[in-house]
Structure 1
C-alpha cells in the first residue's frame, strides 16, 4: 500500500504529465478534451462518485489507437484537475498471432510515457482469446491462443484458396467482438466504452450484422433493443454458424471454443464516440504520437493499412505464392497485384504520402521483394508455425471438394507423388484407421499442409467457397467487405486473361 507522501508524489507526476499532454495537443484537441471531460462528469452524477466509475478504451497498439489512448488519458487527468479525483481508465489489448512483438514494445513505451504503469487509476489488461492478464511487455502467448489462431487461418485459407480477408480477418473480427464482451464486463464491468468509430459507422455495422444474421436464418427481434449486449448475442449466433460452416461436422468440437462473449443484460456500458471531436489524419498529430508518445513504425507491424499487425504482409505473400505456383507466372507479379490493392486502400484511408511510400518501397525491386519474402516466412514460422511449403499447399486448396484440385497440385508442385493420387483419395475419403502401407503417405500429407489427418479429412468433405453465390455465410461476409478490388490476371490452365477479385488490408 502506498504511503501518503507516495500518493502525493504520484498525483504530482500525473499533474506534470497532464500539463505536458495539453501542451502537445492542438487547440482543437484541447477543447475536445474539455468537452468530453465535462460530458463524463455530468454523466457520472456531476462527479460525486466518479472515483468508482470505469471508462474503457481498446488499444490495438497501432498509430490511431495510440492517439486515442493518449487523448483519453488526457481526459482522465483533466477530470482529476477539475475535481481532485477521477475515473478509473481501463485499457484493453487483444492479442492474436499476427501481432508482432514490436507492438507490445510500442504499447509499453506509450504506457510509460503516460504514467499508466502502476497507476491505481488505470487498469491495463491483455485478452488472449478468453484469458485476461495484466499487461506486461513480455507476457507469454498462451498455447491455446496460438492453436486456435493457427487452425482458423489454415481452415479459412484452404476453404478460400488463400484469399486475403477470409484467411486472416474473418476469424479475427469475430475475436474482436468477443474481446469487447470480455473486457467490457471483466470484474464488474465498465460504465463507458470510448470508441473512435463515428455514430454513422456504428449504425452501419449494427445494420450489416443484423442483416447477416437474418440471412443466416436467425431470429434477431429479441436482441434489437438490447444495444451492445444484443449485438454481441447476435454476433455469437453468427460466429457459431460461421464456424459450423467452416469446420463441418468432422470438427464440430471446435465450434463452442469460438463463442462470442456477450456480457450481461443488466449492466450494459454506454458507448461514446470521439470521432466528431478529433482528427484521425496521422499528420494532424504526428509529433504527438511519434515524438511525445514514442510510437515507432516497425517493418513487420506496419503492413500497408495496418500499424499493429503483420497479416497484411502475409496476404501479399500468399498472393505472390499463388501467382508463382498456381498460376505459373512469378512471385513478383503477385506482389505487384497486391500492392495495387493495398495502395488503393491506403489512399482511401487518407494515409500520409510518406507512410504509403514507406510501405510500398519495401517491394520496389527484386532484392527487396526477396528480403521481405524471407522476413515474412520467418514471421509465419514464429507466429503461426507454418512454412512457405505449407502456404503453397494452402493456395492450391488441393483437399477441398473431395480433392478437386489435387491432381493439378500434385502435377505442378509434387510430381513425385502423382502416382499416389488414388491412395490419397482413399486415405481422405473415410475415417478408418490408416493401414500400415499408407502411414508414410499420411505423414507426408500432414507435413506439406501443417494440418492433422482429421483436419485434412474435414477439408475433403467441405467445398471451396464460391464467392459468386449467396449460399455460403463465408461468401456473404465478403460481399459486405469493402477491402477488395478486381484485377486482371491469367487463367493458369487456359492461358486466357480473366478478371479476379482479391481482398486484403
Structure 2
C-alpha cells in the first residue's frame, strides 16, 4: 500500500511539474535552469543534493509566490533527473501583517503546488512561542498583541510618525528572532534563498552591524561576520528597542551570542526571478495565485501595503498638522513615489506606477482611505485619530506640544489642559474622564503615556538613540514625514 501510494504521489508531482513548466515563458525556462545549476553547485553536486536544505521566508506577497513556484519547479525537476533532490523549508513568520486572507493565499499556493504531502518540503508557521509544521490547510486565527500595538504607537510618538521608524524597524528586528527559530527547528539549514537585488542583503547586514556597534554590541571571538551573527545582533537590538519603549523583552528562546555551529550560506536568486520578466503578468504567477486586477485594491499585498500605508499616513499628516484635505497628501505622496520609481522595472517599481494611476481621483483616494484605516485597525488595533495624535506628538518633552495639539485638533478640550498634565505627571486624578480621554485619543495605556511625558522626541540628526541610529544608517530611508510645498505652514509646530 505504501509503495502504491508513493508511486501515485510521484505521478502527481510529475503532473504538477508539467503544469508549471507549461506556464514558463522561454526566459523563465532559462532562469529555471540557472536556478537549478546554482542549487546543485551550492550543494556540492548531484550526489549531495539530497542532504542539502534551503530555507525561504514567505511573506504572503506575489514576489514570494513567484519565488516559491520557481523553487518547487527546481525541486521537482532535479527529482525527475536524479534519485534525490534538495529539502525546501518554507517559513511563514507570524507577524501582524499575516492576516487570515494572506494566510489563505499561502495555503492555496501550497495546495496547488502539492507541498503538503511531500516530505521533501517543510512548511512552518513560526511565532514567538512555537514552531508548527503545517501538513494540511487549516483554519487560521491572527494573533493579537498588545505589546505590538503599544510599540507602534510609542514609536510613532517619539518619531512624530516617521513611517519607517514607526512600522518597519520594530518589524525588521522582531522578524530576526522568528527567522532564527525557523532555522533551529528540525534538521540543519544549509542556505537561505534571497530573492532581493544582490547588494541589498549586504547593505542591510552592514547597517545592522553599524547600529549594533554603536549600541555597544560586538561579535564574540571566533564568530564570523556572516548572516547568522547579524541575526543574533538583530535579536539584541530588538531587546534594546523594546527596553527603549518600556516594553517587556523576550524571556524565552533567546538567541545566544556564541559562534554558530553552521554558518548559513546565502543563495541569491534575484537574476533568476527578475530578468526579462514582468512578474505581474507572468503565467507562473497566475498558476499559483490566479489573475490579478490592479484596479481591485489589495492592501494586503506586502509591496502594495508599504506604498499605500505611507500614502495614507501622508494624507493624515496633511489633515492633522497642515489643515489640508486628506486627498492632497495622498496624491502628493503617490506622485513623488511614482517619479522616484520611474526607472525601476522590478515588481515594486511597476507596482508603484500602477498604484499611482489607480488612485488618481478624490473618489478613488477616499476608497483607499477606508481600506487603509480598516487594515491598520486589523493589524495593530489603531485608529486614524490615534495616528493623527502621534504625528503631533503632544505628550513627549513634558507635554510641550499638548496645548498646541488641543488648540488645533480638540479646542473643546482646552479647559482640561491642567487636568491632562496632572494625569501625565502621575499625580492623583482630579477627574477620571481626563485619563479616559487621553487613553482613547492616543490608544496607549496610562503608564506608557506617563513614560512618554518624561521622554524626548528622537533627534534624527544626532543619531544617539537606537531609533535615531537605525534611521541614520538606514540604506533605504526616505523623508516620509517631510511636507510638500503645497501643504503651506503647519498648524502645529
Q: Is the TM-score greater than 0.5?
A: yes
Contact 2:299 2:375 in 1 (8 A): no
| Contact 1:239–1:260 under 8 Å retained in 2 | no
Select between 97-106 and 412-421 the one with higher mean Cα deviation. 97-106
C-alpha contact (below 8 Å) 2:103/2:140 kept by paired residues: no
* Counterpart for residue 89 of structure 2: 90
Scaled by the length of structure 2, the TM-score of the pair is 0.88
CA 415–29 in structure 1, closer or farther in 2 if over 3 Å, else same: same
- Asked whether the 8 Å contact 1:427–1:438 carries over to 2, the reply is no
Name the structure 1 match of 2:488.
490
Matched residues in 2 for 1:313 and 1:258: separation? 35
Paired position in structure 1 for 2:325? 330
TM-score by length of 1: 0.86
Q: Secondary structure in 2 aligned to 1:176?
A: helix
Query: Could you tell me how far apart the structure 2 residues matched to 1:63 and 1:261 are?
Result: 34
SS at 1:91 equivalent: strand
Alignment partner of 1:409 out of 405, 413, 420 = 405
Contact 1:400 1:461 in 2 (8 A): yes
Q: Deviations over 1:346-404 (max 9, x none)?
A: 43542578744541244322222222212222222222222222222222111111111
SS in 2 for 1:492: coil
Q: What is residue 305 of structure 2 aligned with on the other side?
A: 310
Shift in alpha-carbon separation, 1:421–1:469, aligned structure 2, 3 A: same
Query: Is residue 321 of structure 2 the alignment partner of residue 321 of structure 1?
Result: no
Q: Which residue of 1 aligns with 2:238?
A: 239
Q: CA deviation at 1:493?
A: 4.6
Alignment of 1:57-136 (within 5 A): 57-135=56-134, 136=137
Does residue 452 of structure 1 match 2:448?
no
Q: Where in structure 2 are there 5+ consecutive unaligned residues?
A: none
Shift in CA distance, 300/467, structure 1 to aligned 2, threshold 3 Å = farther
Describe the SS at the equivalent of 2:103. Answer: helix
Q: Counterparts of 1:361 and 1:128 in 2: how far apart (Å)?
A: 37
Preserved contact between residue 223 and residue 231 of structure 1 (Cα < 8 Å): no
Higher RCO (Cα < 8 Å, 6 or more apart): 2
**Distance (Å, rounded) in 1 between the aligned partners of 2:403 and 2:278:** 52
- Secondary structure at 1:293 match in 2: helix
Tell me: CA distance 1:345–1:89, structure 2 relative to 1, closer, same or farther (3 Å). Answer: farther
CA distance in 2, matches of 1:412, 1:494: 7
CA contact (8 A) 1:157 1:163 kept: yes
Unaligned residue ranges in structure 1 (runs of 5+)? 496-505
How far residue 335 of structure 1 moved from its aligned partner, in angstroms, is 1.2
The within-5 A match list for 1:255-266 is 265-266=260-261
2:285 and 2:212 map into 1 onto residues whose CA distance is 41
User: Is contact 1:181–1:261 with CA below 8 Å preserved after alignment?
Assistant: no
Q: How many residues align?
A: 483
> 1:225 is paired with a residue of what secondary structure?
coil
